[in-house]
Amino acid sequence: MSKNELALVKKDTVDVVANKVKQFQENGELHFPANYSPENAMKSAWLKLQEVKDKNGKPALEACTKDSIANSLLNMVVQGLNPAKNQGYFIVYGNKLIFQRSYFGTMAVTKRVAEAKSINANVIYEGDEVSYDMVNGRIQNLQHKQKFGNINKDKIEGAYCIIELSEEEVYTELMTMDEIRQAWQQSQMWRKDQKREREGSTHDNFRQEMAKKTVINRACKKFINSSDDGSLLINHFNQTDEAAEEAKAQQEINENANSEYIDIEASEVNEQQEEPKQEAEPEPEPAQEEQTSVDEVMNDMEEKEAVAEGPSF
* Residues in Cβ contact with 272 at an 8 Å cutoff, skipping those fewer than 6 apart: none
| Separation in Å, CA 122 to CA 89, 160, 294, 302 | 26, 6, 15, 20
pLDDT of residue 41: 95
Q: Say if residue 269's pLDDT is above 50.
A: no
pLDDT of residue 202: 83
pLDDT of residue 288: 37
Nearest to 158 by CA among 119, 211, 222: 211
CA–CA gap between residue 187 and residue 177 (Å, rounded)? 16
Q: Say if residue 260's pLDDT is above 60.
A: no
Query: How many other CB atoms sit within 10 Å of the CB of residue 66?
Result: 15
pLDDT of residue 177: 96
Q: Say if residue 284's pLDDT is above 90.
A: no
Residue-by-residue DSSP string for 74-90: HHHHHTT--GGGTSEEE
- Name the strand (E) or helix (H) holding 218: helix 207-225
Q: What is the pLDDT of residues 121-162, one digit of tens each?
A: 999 999 999 999 999 999 999 999 999 999 999 999 999 999
Q: What is the pLDDT of residues 195-244, one digit of tens each?
A: 787 888 888 889 999 999 999 999 998 888 776 555 677 777 776 666 65
Average pLDDT in the 266-291 region? 43
pTM of the model: 0.71
Nearest to 226 by CA among 166, 183, 173: 173
Average pLDDT in the 185-199 region? 73
- Residue 310's region, left for phi above 0, alpha for psi from -120 to 50, else beta, is left
| Separation in Å, CA 215 to CA 24, 137, 178 | 33, 18, 12
pLDDT of residue 180: 94
E strand residue ranges, 126-216: 129-135, 138-145, 156-164, 170-176
Backbone φ and ψ for 36, nearest 5 degrees, come out as -110, 130
250 band by pLDDT with thresholds 50, 70 and 90? low
Of the listed ranges 1-15, 171-185, 191-205, the one predicted with least confidence: 191-205
Q: What angle do CA 9, 11, 13 make, to 5 degrees?
A: 65
Percent of the chain with pLDDT over 90: 50
Sheet holding 118-125, edge to edge: 118-125, 156-164, 170-176
